[in-house]
Structure 1
């Protein structure tokens, strides 16, 4: 799954090439690409045609295009902006291509723009898709989000992210810190890769309990999450295969700079100890046994860890 930096790279590409353009025509070529849009493919095509894309936005890993009010479709009341919510899934790509470019093998949606270019949704594994949703006010600020993303918290890259409020929330919970970092209702945008990288930077094991970590330690973890994602964003995201590309078809290369994720048995860049891989739900966690000592049950239950 793409994580926050990858989604932000795509958002910036859409902002550059698509915002301000009018959608002149839409073709849905695969029904699964619009399965989240309950009224169906023809309704999505009708609602998008003639709309102007006014913004490309993101909250955590949720991505959407804001569409001007336009003429109401069959499932939409008159007036008001809408969101075209883009679910990238495991392999979804938003590609801006000239109309003369050959069709990609897994081209599921083609959107023609008044610039003469096409915005194409390509998805090899068909887990992603598009859906139109109303925009609703957020409970934590002045902006609006699609109703399907209203439960998603702000992410550490958000200029309105309230670090101290998130620290307070974490302190009220009794769960492992890595599980809490992956809870998108607490803090969004942090996936498995960047959780491991942030915890390594903060020198905290992912199994430590949130209510046993001090506020300075929790602030350090959230700051580390911000920093590692900012570094990844600077390098274009994390790409492990050819399925992740930005709107220009260029892959990210941050995987070359990862410190612990996917580096089992290789030396820790900080202390040289072999990186350890452990099972985590249906995924894996990577950590340094020396820099990030696992909590001992007795110690974890005795009081707050960290200063």
Structure 2
């Protein structure tokens, strides 16, 4: 499923097209993608039509849209977006969206944001990258029509993701709630999610101490969204390889220095992934313009069973723990 870098790529790509735009229509093609919404599909439409997107924020793998009413006041709710296993947000320009179906094969790439839209640096469109366009859209679930004639399509093949609104609450620590957030408010449905390693308010030494208080394997702790959010199977394996740590090492067996080193490795690995658009193994994850990420070409451990470790040449191994594959170097990542 998309992890922190992939969701952040989507957030940055979506911002120039959505921030400052008014949602003028909501088309629910599959009510299952609005199942978390109070009042179901009709409730989602009532909550969104006529609102203006003022910001797009992210904590871990959760993305949300801040909304203002026609008078410019905050609605007190945010539009939650979770991509699940295969969710995509795709922007379709007016020219690229046939009136009968925005999901037509061969749709063109979206237009650039209007030059007069003043956006913060972290919401400006990333530099274009080379790479294959995604497959034609076949699993459109929800379409949001914007006032400039464009659409944002939520596409989800496996139906684990969804869109819904959630009331805003204040972050426990009173600090800016998330990457891209204008204040300390965040959706109630994301309040239980810990800060991620990209968050300026994340206290990495404190997270390291929390990891050391638990007996579970360190990889399981990196995946525990109540400790640190946004890390999934791919980046956990990559960070543990970079930090030379075995995935089954109990948190209590780590020193503070070593636990902190692992968290810094998580951040460094995901920063590199973000720079190349994330990791795409298939057409299930793409950016809002339909392009894939290329970090799969730089993976050191994940998915490389039997291949030589780039550090020592030892064949990488794969173990399954708690139903998850763990890829590691048996020489560089000895269990202590």
Instruction: Tell me if TM exceeds 0.5.
Output: yes
Distance verdict in 2 for CA 1:79–1:155, change over 3 Å: closer
Q: Find the counterpart in structure 1 of residue 158 from structure 2.
A: 125
After superposition, residues 265-280 of structure 1 pair within 5 angstroms as 265-280=306-321
**For 2:147, which of 99, 114, 135 is the aligned residue?**
114
Indicate conservation of the 8 Å contact 2:67/2:74, yes or no.
no
Off by >4 Å, runs of 4+ in structure 1:
none
Looking at structure 2, the residues matched to 280 and 289 of structure 1 have their Cα atoms a distance apart, in angstroms, of 16
Residues 138-194 of structure 1, C-alpha deviation per residue, up to 9 Å, x if partnerless? 113422211111111111111111011111211222221111111100011111110
The aligned counterpart of 1:31 is: 31
Structure 1: gaps of 5 or more residues? 72-77, 296-307
Contact 1:84 1:132 in 2 (8 A): yes
User: Cα RMSD over matched residues?
Assistant: 1.4
Per-residue CA deviation, residues 208-243 of structure 1 (Å, 9 max, x unaligned), is 111111111011100000000000000100001011
> Mapping of 1:1-307 within 5 angstroms?
1-70=1-70, 80-99=75-94, 100-101=96-97, 102-103=102-103, 104-142=137-175, 143-295=184-336
Name the counterpart of 1:302: none
Q: How far is the alpha carbon of 1:80 from its aligned partner?
A: 3.7
- Determine the C-alpha separation between the residues in 2 that align with 1:67 and 1:61: 20
Displacement of 1:200 in angstroms is: 0.4
1:70–1:79 CA contact under 8 A, matched in 2 = no
TM-score, structure 2 normalization: 0.83
- The 2-side partners of 1:126 and 1:80 are apart by 28
Q: Is the 8 A contact 1:69 1:82 kept in 2?
A: no
Q: Where does residue 304 of structure 1 map in the other structure? A: none
**Residue of structure 2 equivalent to 1:75:** none
In the alignment, what sits opposite 2:133? none
Structure number with greater CO (CA < 8 Å, separation at least 6) is 2
If the length of structure 1 is used for normalisation, what is the TM-score? Answer: 0.91
The number of aligned residues is 289
Tell whether the 8 Å contact from 2:26 to 2:143 is kept in structure 1 after alignment.
yes
Q: Is the 8 A contact 2:24 2:146 kept in 1?
A: yes
Work out whether residues 67 and 75 of structure 2, in 8 Å CA contact, stay in contact via their aligned partners in 1: no
Offset, 1:70 = 4.9
List runs of 5+ in structure 2 lacking aligned partners: 104-136, 176-183
Using the alignment, how far apart are the partners of 2:190 and 2:25 within structure 1?
27
Note the C-alpha offset of 1:79. 6.5
1:61-104 CA distance string (max 9 Å, x none): 11111111459xxxxxx974311001111111101102342423
CA distance in 1 between counterparts of 2:77 and 2:54 reads 10
